[in-house]
Structure 1
């Protein structure tokens, strides 16, 4: 099960898992994109795909979606908590309350809603793997990153807490913390300003969605007695949130 599967890392994860003959539950808010991806994966790889359209921020919608699972679809082996976003890049004294609420509702509460409803299915079977998409912003803070950083620090803490709480049930828990990945991330952060978003990635080779998806698949495909607790993945040109090796 992959949340936020309609673009970026989520879509790349759907593709690599489909290539490896995994049946998929893909979720997102954009029904047209979800249906298109579902058709592509089914046609290209001959797998079963169940698209679920809902807003991860709305607990009632999440509850209905997970409650609708029947038969083999309830046997979720891997949950990839990918859905997340950043909005704005303002200092704390000028931040938008709406942006803050959206980031917290998506990055923290949305992840919790899904995990709360899917993890009991894994506990019942005493197996499973939860993979949480964090960020370098969950390991450091940077100017004007305030609430986004706070939300990803929460993901880091929740990942560690899940690892402990689910330990008795043989459930693996992994966090992936990427640095700069060129996806729709900056377009969303800058609210559709594509030129501003492009400038973020000028002068260096950023990570791609496929780079992160490959890493996620590697973690998931390891033997069941092996758990990667967390990985921080950076472009070669990025040491941390402050130090870069940019051309020009």
Structure 2
């Protein structure tokens, strides 16, 4: 699902100048950061916690690992990874949006997660790490907001160690027609209303719904990971394909 014209890209259903997308996405997440966790629970009926638990279970993270929770936002994955890597390991909570990063940092400090967590504002397309330096990278519900997904996947591949793995947890496509119709109604009618009532922002949540529809489907994303260099790329559909967990390795 590559862009036909590199000078333009999608922002939801809109076509915008490529150089403008990052700031437009930033505005969305500046707006929703304070209510992000509350809205996640409401939007997914709490199921996002099960999706993230499965991501952790498939990560292979263990003591001493260096892990990047990319687009990690409010730090749900970082909190668990911090336990798993222990004092000898390190977890980097990375996000392009400083508002989300601040919310994540404050939440993790309130939970007592200190010592092995670093907070870094970064762009997924140009990760600020040496080649072959990370054991695991996760990106949960963030890849669809990246302007150049192919470039970001290559950047992730570059910084992973040989033997390292990438996990991409993201909204995807369901083949169930009844579920698809119900999901569309929910996304474009209920979700913006919920955003208005809870976060006083319906437009940001309308964008989030549109961005999900514009994201590559399961097979396309698998192919994109393979083109970036990842081997044994695979995916697992969750909740009927509404969400998919992709996994790839660097050998």
Q: TM-score range by the shorter chain?
A: 0.3 to 0.5
Give the strand-richer structure, 1 or 2: 2
- After TM superposition, the score normalised by the length of structure 1 is 0.44
- After TM superposition, the score normalised by the length of structure 2 is 0.44
